[in-house]
Amino acid sequence: MNPTNKSIAIFTPLAMAALIALGSCSSAPKRPPEVFTNRNAAIGQMELGNEAVSKGDFANADLFFAEAWRLATSTDDPETRIRVMLSQANGRFNEGDRATADDLWARAQTEAESAGLKELISTAKIYRARGMLAEGLPKDEVSDAERLARAQQAKATVSSEMGKLKTNDLDLAFAWKVIGLAEKEMANYGGAINAFEKAASIHEKGRYLEDAGYDWYLIASARSKAGAYPQAREALETALSFDRRAENANGLGMDWLALGMIEEKAGNRAAAKTAYERAQGIFASAYLTKSAQEAGRRASALKDE
């Protein structure tokens, strides 16, 4: 038999059908895979923006968030757009622009409601509750009665919404932080410490170093408010350990500044001056000029004994 003819005889229509069947697990047409390239890139830029905010680098944070928003807009994906808006607003809030922050949080909530994304609706409400708190505002701008009312309302909102957070541990940690801040405003320092510790547990487990450092900074603040200065110092040592690992100059400067304030309250003027000077040097090295000036002012106000 001619070899060529033998080859032809083997590939009959029936044999070809069998080969095709063996080469495919299903006769159904294949669907193209979903593309996440721009969504992932948007989230990556957003995370860089979040990190810049934690380090007090607001100029670069704005650039990262702008690129994240461009990429999120190109995908027209509601969840990505909402996440970026929430982070942008948080950056603005930390920069001191509360009005823009609340506008962005409100837009994020509206988009979440339109898209029917229940968890993100709750997340947006929790962020807005953070903005509602008078924490960080001068006493002459907000009366004690209004400060208390804001704290009570914020706590009520977060307590109502945080049980709906099922998939994102960072959202839950943020909710605990807002609860802690509200409790601190209400002078319930035990409740504040408990809430901050729950946030810290989530951040430590996920190795979010900057966030964990800030949690322990807040724990120190609540302990100091309660007059527990030795325990506040211990909390700041923990905060310093996280911020050193993260090489977070802004966090380190804040930790040393807080340590100086605690030492000053405790009557340890020399130790306070040393801590303020340490904070000043760290802030200056990171070009955080206003913070460096504040630390320097506090150090100059203390004379060597």
> How confident is the model at residue 29, as a pLDDT?
57
Is residue 102 within 8 A of residue 128, CB to CB? The reply is yes
> How confident is the model at residue 56, as a pLDDT?
87
For residue 73, give both structure tokens. Answer: 């807009």
d(CA 60, CA 5): 72
Q: Is 178 contained in some domain?
A: no
Q: Is 43 contained in some domain?
A: yes
CATH code at position 84:
1.25.40.10
- CB within 8 A of 279, min separation 6: which ones? 253, 254, 255, 256, 257, 260, 291, 295
Q: Is 106 contained in some domain?
A: yes
Q: Is 45 contained in some domain?
A: yes
> How confident is the model at residue 120, as a pLDDT?
97
To which residue do tokens 């159904």 refer?
28
Q: Is 224 contained in some domain?
A: no
> How confident is the model at residue 54, as a pLDDT?
87
Q: Which domain holds residue 100?
A: 38-116
Question: The pTM is what?
Answer: 0.85
State how far Cα 51 lies from the chain centre: 8
Burial profile 107-133: b = 16 or more Cβ within 10 angstroms, e = fewer: bbbebbeeeebebbbbbbbbbbbbbbb
Number of domains in the chain: 1
To which residue do tokens 């229509």 refer?
13
CA dihedral 181, 183, 189, 195 (to 10 degrees): -70
> How confident is the model at residue 28, as a pLDDT?
52
To which residue do tokens 């047409």 refer?
29
Q: Is 50 contained in some domain?
A: yes
Consecutive 10-residue runs of the chain (305 residues): their mean pLDDT? 38 39 48 79 95 90 96 96 96 94 97 97 97 90 94 97 94 97 97 98 96 97 95 98 96 97 93 97 95 96 72
Q: Is 197 contained in some domain?
A: no
SS (H, E, C) the chain: CCHHHHHHHHCCHHHHHHHHHHCCCCCCCCCCCCCCHHHHHHHHHHHHHHHHHHCCCHHHHHHHHHHHHHHHHHHCCHHHHHHHHHHHHHHHHHHCCHHHHHHHHHHHHHHHHHHCCHHHHHHHHHHHHHHHCCCCCCCCCCCHHHHHHHHHHHHHHHHHHHHHCCCCHHHHHHHHHHHHHHHHHCCCHHHHHHHHHHHHHHHHHCCCHHHHHHHHHHHHHHHHHCCCHHHHHHHHHHHHHHHHHHCCHHHHHHHHHHHHHHHHHCCCHHHHHHHHHHHHHHHHHCCCHHHHHHHHHHHHHCCCC
> How confident is the model at residue 35, as a pLDDT?
72
> How confident is the model at residue 108, as a pLDDT?
97
Q: Is 69 contained in some domain?
A: yes
> How confident is the model at residue 143, as a pLDDT?
93
